[in-house]
Amino acid sequence: MATLEFWFDFGSNYSYLSAMRIEALAREKKVQVIWKPFLLGVVFKALGWETSPFVLQKIKGDYTCRDMARQCDKYGLPWRQPAAFPRTALLPMRVALVGADQGWIAPFARRMMTMNFAEDRDIDNLEAVSEALAGLGLDAGAIVALALTPDNKLRLRRQTQQAQALHLFGAPSFLSGGELFWGNDRLDDALAHAAGARSLSM
């Protein structure tokens, strides 16, 4: 099956749009999604930004608020402008890595994104993460303990370094056969590229 890497951060509003839709769209194209959480804030700092450009540039931020409302209406997704933006999400990002190994990252990611962008809740805490895991019928205590091991913390740092080595500069980003697609509005193109690459290899 063709694969598409989906690089995202739970604090990224446009990643929310993609995370809520990508699995269903990928099934239609017979493409397997490889979820790749990374720390977008680290990437921004390396570019000389202390926070999101949507915060640094007020005009762009104001536009993005309206754009998100329009896009969520278009896709039928709930939306509530977060009171804090961008929200830190270090714990859920570490947990997401465990989910990638164990096969439940997609529903976990959708739940965390919903908490952040539809319910306007802080997500970088044990209560929110445990609620999301319990809702999936998972052992929250065991998973959080695994997520907080030194090895897993190092994995997230290294995955973020990998994102930088791949010259990723924002989220969501999609990689298909070494080809980079950036932004929620390029999701369909990225999936089409992955599906086309599969067809050429058959």
Q: Rounded to whole angstroms, how far apart are CA atoms 110 and 75?
A: 14
> Residue 194: which pLDDT band, with cuts at 50, 70 and 90?
very high
Residue 199 has pLDDT above 90, yes or no: no
Domain edges within the chain: 2-201
Instruction: Select the more confidently predicted residue: 1 or 84.
Output: 84
- Residues linked to residue 175 through DSSP beta bridges, in sequence order: 5, 180
Taking only the tens place, the pLDDT of each residue in 70-121 is: 999 999 999 999 999 999 999 999 999 999 999 999 999 999 999 999 999 9
Closest CA to 182 of 190, 191, 173, 192: 173
> How far, in Å, are 70, 152, 157, 202 from residue 161 at the CA level?
33, 14, 6, 33
Tell me the pLDDT tens digit for each residue of 13-25: 999 999 999 999 9
pLDDT for residue 200 is more than 90: no
Known catalytic residues are 12
Rounded CA-CA distance 26/159 in Å is 23
- Sheet with 179-182, side-by-side order of all strands: 31-37, 2-8, 173-176, 179-182
Name which CATH class applies to 2-201: alpha beta
91 vs 95: CA distance, rounded Å:
6
The three-state secondary structure class of 6 is strand
Look-up of token digits 């999400």: 89
In the chain, % of residues over pLDDT 70: 97
| Span 58-74, pLDDT tens digits | 999 999 999 999 999 99
| Residue 198: predicted pLDDT | 55
The structure's pTM equals 0.95
